[in-house]
């Protein structure tokens, strides 16, 4: 519901990205890359991180 409050649909790969905490652990720069990426057609983007825990905090900062 939170993601849909920003986007009309989660089907747009240029505006919505979903990452797993394991993906970030393997490639810490990927979170920053996704967070700073621009949408191809403009508009806001949503990056959703799944499976995060207290140990994931160091990858997000």
- Indicate the pTM of the whole model: 0.72
CA dihedral 27, 30, 31, 36 (to 10 degrees): 160
**What pLDDT, on the 0 to 100 scale, is given for residue 19?**
92
1-35 pLDDT, tens digit per residue, is 888 888 888 998 889 999 998 888 888 889 889 98
């Amino acid at each position: 519901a939170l993601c849909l409050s920003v986007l009309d649909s989660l089907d747009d790969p240029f505006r919505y990205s979903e990452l797993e905490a394991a993906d970030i652990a393997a490639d810490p720069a990927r979170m920053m890359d996704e967070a700073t990426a621009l949408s191809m057609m403009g508009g806001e983007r949503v990056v959703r991180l799944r499976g995060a825990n207290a140990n994931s905090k160091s990858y997000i900062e």
